[in-house]
Amino acid sequence: MMGRETARERQLNHGQQGSFSSALARVQTHPLVSAAFELLKEQLPRNLTYHAKSHTEDVLSEAMRFATIDGLSDRELELLAIAAAYHDTGFTRSPVANEAIGADLARKAMLDAGSYTDAEVALVEQSILDTTLVELPNGPQQIPSTKLSRYLLDADLSNLGRDDFFDKGELQRRELGIDEAHFRKRSYQLLHAHRWYTDAARELRQKKKEENLLLLKSMLEPEGAAVTLSFDRVGFLAKLPLVLNSSLDARKVIKAALNELKTRIGAEAATIFLFDHSDSTLCFWAMQGPDNEELERSRIPANRGFVGWVLAHQEPILVNDAQSDPRFFREIDETTGFKTRNLICAPLTVRIADKLGVVEVLNRLPGDFSAEDLEFLSQFAAQVALALENAKLYESVKEHSRQLEILDQRKTQVMKLIAREFHEPVDMIGKSAKGLPDSSSASSLSSVKEGILAGVERLSSLISEIRNISVASSTEFTLRRTSVAVSGLVEGAVRSFSRSAADRSISLTQAVTTDAGSVEADEELLSLVLSHLVSNALAYTPDGGRIHLKAYRNGGLVHIEVRDSGIGIAKEQQSLIFEKFYRLEESPHGERIRRIGLGLGLPTVQAILKAHGSSCKVESSPGSGSVFSFALPAEATGAGSAG
């Protein structure tokens, strides 16, 4: 039996060598494959020890080997080669969310080539996205969703079943900056959970994978040799649950605990970032260290920097040379003047699928962070995550109950609202028709015509709003993303409403900073967002008031604001205004406001921004005006130095 297996391996390794060599040589000279390798050669950060150009060469070779053995067609081999060549090109821009960047680069290259169908482009794009490691209860895995991705994934992790497994692992460990003990445990989880998706990989690589698994298991530290904490730190962690549950003001007690953590580690600063699922950003939620009020209100894209990496991979990291690490997001240091020297960072997670954020400690004083520091932070993060989740659930239940009560009251008013809104234009048309004289004069006909047209215009406006129901309720958009200049977007919105504002003596102004640049978005839908926001501001701003549009860049995001001097919105109504059919009927002073339709504008805004991975936020108080804002990632102008 053993002899037959060896013969089979020999057949697989050598029997189809000619076919494999021919296929590999053919795809290596393919224009798109060559372009991808040129991009890797020129723009990959030099300190990537594992995700270097040689890794992509290895993946391409293994993908062709497995695919030719299993008999894929020439066209499938070509598409697989493009996917393999581009699967790590995202590292030229960012080590965080690199799969999505690589997939986008492949898509653009194939579309520019003009010789591929939409289905083929989507197939390559999805295959690259499938290389993302997914955290599952039994360990991290890559999950294929296409025939091609099965071969790409087996090729990407082929070294798990080869003699160079430990050599490649050491390159990856150095690249990630993870301590050896933690990396071995993580590798064991990956190796234990992994399975091959193709017949060829299974037959060629399974035997060696099992040998590597047994050897790695024997190398793992015994339970008693794990990192131990000092008595002082153990005591702090033992008392931490009492501290975290001592008040309903979660932010206050967690900020105090964060300061204690920073002091016990002996670091310069510590920060808790919370993940906002609505717009995929990380906000500076709690800080201890150098005061910076502007930074405490800032957000950064959730796919940037060390914190973005930790959020995505759900692994703690220790980095004692931050400046030379490709994950370093320089924009924050450049903005604040703070210089990050070294750091430890851990995820805030209660359940695998629910990422709350991360906690980061910066600049140990003096010297480097240790494995004990990282273990201390990880245990601290686990307890803080639980406290945050409990506080989040408590607030969510309170808010949900309040909203249900208010919306229940509004539910019965919706049909009355629609009936009332349609009654007015119908009544206008009816009265105008009745006023038609038997022998019409030019002046009377003109008056009747004006009445009918006014009614029709109002009906058309209402019908348009009702159509917005489908937009406001949509969970899926087909976005036509292009490079959208922010200055042009803002100028277009101001131009569209300048006459309406002037008729009511409302000052409508704009300010766009020179670094705002562009965003990648659906220009038509984004214009509709600004149109609704400006229209909403006009409706709630008294004659003679002010409306100001502002766009600026901060922390890798382009922020766009619409600020008005209108009636303002009470805090308890600020989440409800984004519900369909909800609208403010009166000002805080009891006066009626101008008629503004069915209450579908802001829900439409929220639906469009959600499709772009963002959301609309509001800051307001009665009598003090409102600020509606959203943020989108700034369009990359070239390969970044970090991220």
Q: What is the tens place of the pLDDT at every residue in 363-381?
A: 998 889 988 899 899 999 9
Q: How far is CA 324 from CA 62, 336, 342, 638, 641, in A?
A: 31, 19, 10, 19, 10
Mean pLDDT of 555-570: 90
Residue 66 lies in a domain: yes
DSSP code string of 500-528: HHHHTT-EEEEEE-TT--EEEEEHHHHHH
Q: What is the pLDDT of residue 536?
A: 87
Q: Which domain, by its residues, includes 371?
A: 231-399
Domain boundary residue among 473, 495, 516?
A: 473
Q: How sure is the predictor about 156, in pLDDT bands with cuts at 50, 70 and 90?
A: very high
Sign of CA dihedral 540, 545, 549, 555: negative
Residue 531 lies in a domain: yes
pLDDT at 442 over 70: no
Residues 265, 296: one domain?
A: yes
Residues in the chain, total = 643
CA–CA separation, 88 and 84 (whole Å): 8
HSE on the CB side for 360, CA within 13 Å? Answer: 26
For 11-28, give one letter per residue: b (16+ CB within 10 A) or e. Answer: ebeeebeeebeebbeebb
Q: What is the pLDDT of residue 507?
A: 94
Mean pLDDT of 404-422: 61
Q: What is the pLDDT of residue 69?
A: 92
Q: Which structure tokens are listed for 154?
A: 């087996």
pLDDT at 484 over 90: yes
**What global pTM score does this model have?**
0.54
Residue 70 lies in a domain: yes
Residues 384, 528: one domain?
A: no
Hey, is 522 helix, strand or coil?
Answer: strand
Q: What is the pLDDT of residue 458?
A: 65
Residues 26, 146: one domain?
A: yes
Residue 408 lies in a domain: no
Residues 153, 101: one domain?
A: yes
Q: What is the pLDDT of residue 457?
A: 64
Strands (E), 412-468: none
CA–CA separation, 208 and 200 (whole Å): 14
CA–CA separation, 394 and 248 (whole Å): 9
Residue 566 lies in a domain: yes
pLDDT at 626 over 60: yes
**Count helices and strands in the chain by DSSP H and E runs:** 22, 15
Helix axes 98-113 and 31-43, enclosed angle (nearest 10): 140
Q: What percent of the chain has pLDDT over 90?
A: 39
Average pLDDT, the chain: 82
Hey, is 409 helix, strand or coil?
Answer: helix
CA–CA separation, 271 and 298 (whole Å): 12
Q: What is the pLDDT of residue 613?
A: 87
The 10s digit of each residue's pLDDT in 72-126 is: 999 999 999 999 999 999 999 887 778 989 999 999 999 999 999 999 999 999 9
Residue 118 lies in a domain: yes
Residue 407 lies in a domain: no
**What DSSP character marks residue 367?**
S
Segment of 163-167, 172-176, 430-434 carrying the highest mean pLDDT: 163-167
Residues 468, 483: one domain?
A: no
CA–CA separation, 69 and 66 (whole Å): 5
Q: What is the pLDDT of residue 420?
A: 63
Domain boundary residue among 223, 256, 271?
A: 223
Hey, is 445 helix, strand or coil?
Answer: helix
Q: What is the pLDDT of residue 419?
A: 56
CA–CA separation, 433 and 427 (whole Å): 10
Contacts (Cβ under 8 Å, ≥6 apart) of 112: none
CA–CA separation, 272 and 202 (whole Å): 44
Residues 211, 184: one domain?
A: yes
Mean pLDDT of 206-217: 91
Residues 394, 436: one domain?
A: no
Residues 434, 528: one domain?
A: no
Q: What is the pLDDT of residue 116?
A: 95
Flag the least confident range among 448-452, 503-507, 592-596: 592-596
CATH number, position 100: 1.10.3210.10
CATH number, position 337: 3.30.450.40
CA–CA separation, 30 and 492 (whole Å): 44
Strands (E), 534-598: 546-554, 557-564
Residue 155 lies in a domain: yes
pLDDT at 621 over 70: yes
Mean pLDDT of 578-590: 59
pLDDT at 622 over 80: yes
State the total domains in the chain.
4
pLDDT at 7 over 50: no
Residues 576, 638: one domain?
A: yes
The 10s digit of each residue's pLDDT in 598-615 is: 566 788 888 889 888 899
Q: Which residue has the higher pLDDT, 288 or 575?
A: 288
pLDDT at 5 over 80: no
Q: What is the pLDDT of residue 336?
A: 80
CA–CA separation, 135 and 141 (whole Å): 7
Q: What is the pLDDT of residue 467?
A: 53
pLDDT at 406 over 70: no
Taking alpha carbons only, the member of 596, 603, 610, 601 closest to residue 578 is 603
Which residue carries 């549950």 as its tokens?
245
Q: How far is CA 74 from CA 78, 117, 220, 442, 548, in A?
A: 6, 16, 44, 77, 58
Domain boundary residue among 198, 223, 248?
A: 223
Mean pLDDT of 153-168: 94
Mean pLDDT of 253-259: 90
pLDDT at 328 over 60: yes
CATH number, position 575: 3.30.565.10
Q: What is the pLDDT of residue 12?
A: 52
Residues 455, 381: one domain?
A: no
Taking alpha carbons only, the member of 574, 584, 467, 582 closest to residue 528 is 467
Q: What is the pLDDT of residue 369?
A: 92
pLDDT at 28 over 90: yes
pLDDT at 51 over 80: yes
- Cβ pair 530, 493 in contact under 8 A: yes
Mean pLDDT of 12-27: 73
HSE on the CB side for 478, CA within 13 Å? Answer: 0
Residues 303, 429: one domain?
A: no
pLDDT at 639 over 50: no
Residues 214, 75: one domain?
A: yes
